[in-house]
Amino acid sequence: MQDTVLLVEDDEAIAEMLAQVFEKSGYRFRQCGSGEEAVIRVKTRPPSVVLLDIGLPGIDGLETCRQIRQISQVPIIMLTARDTEVDKVVGLEIGADDYVTKPFSPRELVARVKAVLRRSNDVVDAPLIVEVGGWVIDSGRHHVRNGDGEPITPTAKEFDLLRYLAENAGLVLSRSQLLEAVWGYDYFGETRTVDVHIRQLRKKLDGIPIETIWGVGYRMSDT
């Protein structure tokens, strides 16, 4: 089945360029010019992945990301012209899976989309339920529970990271190992991305046994 890319961008030149690139790479390509429209699209005709520009005419990309996350766990890649650490971190904290900084190469963007989709498609082949330290990580339902507690639904990338840590419980994993395993590439991203996602997981899953191993990375405790 063909994957659908939804671009949210008001700049027609960028939209036309990306339409060509993605259609040539075998994707179905859709575009809308505002965040308000994007939220409706995700609700009515959910795409496989959303490419979301930060600079938009109505609500901006960050607010759009927040609103999409209230209704969907679709992978989101932010397009940002502002190359500041603050925007990247804020984007990841409100649920974006990844970001690219303008000007980006179309090839890089296609590679990122592939990586994000590969991870969300891989879920199908993985064991459905992983249990660790009283936590149940359910890939079929895409949620996490502690004992009899209410199920919690992390974002797609947070979930992948959690599952990878749980599958390797007891092992110390470096940031670059995690980046490569979960994001599917080892040189595009920054290891900071891993830290932000870990912070979000700890915030959402109170008491989740993810330990910081100073100077190395992270470990999910298996006891």
Minimum CB separation of residue 32 from Ca ion in Å reads 12
Minimum CB separation of residue 79 from Ca ion in Å reads 8
Strands (E), 17-169: 28-32, 49-53, 76-80, 98-101, 129-132, 135-138, 143-146
User: Which position among 55, 106, 133, 209 is part of the footprint of Ca ion (CB under 5 A)?
Assistant: 55
Minimum CB separation of residue 68 from Ca ion in Å reads 17
- The C-alpha atoms of residue 153 and residue 201 are separated, in whole angstroms, by 10
Q: Which is nearer to Ca ion, 53 or 97 (CB)?
A: 53
Q: Which is nearer to Ca ion, 102 or 143 (CB)?
A: 102
φ, ψ of residue 216 in degrees (nearest 5): -125, -65
Q: Which is nearer to Ca ion, 26 or 103 (CB)?
A: 103
170 in Cβ contact with 112 (< 8 Å): no
User: Which position among 3, 10, 93, 195 is part of the footprint of Ca ion (CB under 5 A)?
Assistant: 10
Q: Which residues of 23-38 are buried (b: 16+ CB within 10 A; e: fewer)?
A: eebebebbbbbbbbbb
Q: Which residue is nearest to Ca ion (CB)?
A: 55
- Segment 170 to 209, residues that bind Ca ion, using CB under 5 A: none
Q: Which is nearer to Ca ion, 79 or 92 (CB)?
A: 79
Q: Which is nearer to Ca ion, 31 or 139 (CB)?
A: 31
53 binds Ca ion (CB under 5 A): yes
Classify residue 118 as exposed, middle or buried by CB count within 10 Å of its CB (0-12, 13-18, 19+): exposed
Q: What are 145's two structure tokens?
A: 């529970």
Minimum CB separation of residue 102 from Ca ion in Å reads 9
Look-up: residue for tokens 């994000």?
116
Minimum CB separation of residue 70 from Ca ion in Å reads 22
- The C-alpha atoms of residue 184 and residue 189 are separated, in whole angstroms, by 10
Stretch that binds Ca ion, among 47-55, 119-127, 141-149, 173-181 (CB under 5 A): 47-55
Q: Which is nearer to Ca ion, 53 or 87 (CB)?
A: 53
Task: Give the list of residues 6+ apart from residue 51 with CB closer than 8 angstroms, or none.
Answer: 5, 6, 7, 8, 9, 18, 77, 79, 109, 113
Binding-site size, Ca ion (CB under 5 A): 4
The residues of the shown chain that bind Ca ion, judged by CB under 5 A, are 10-11, 53, 55
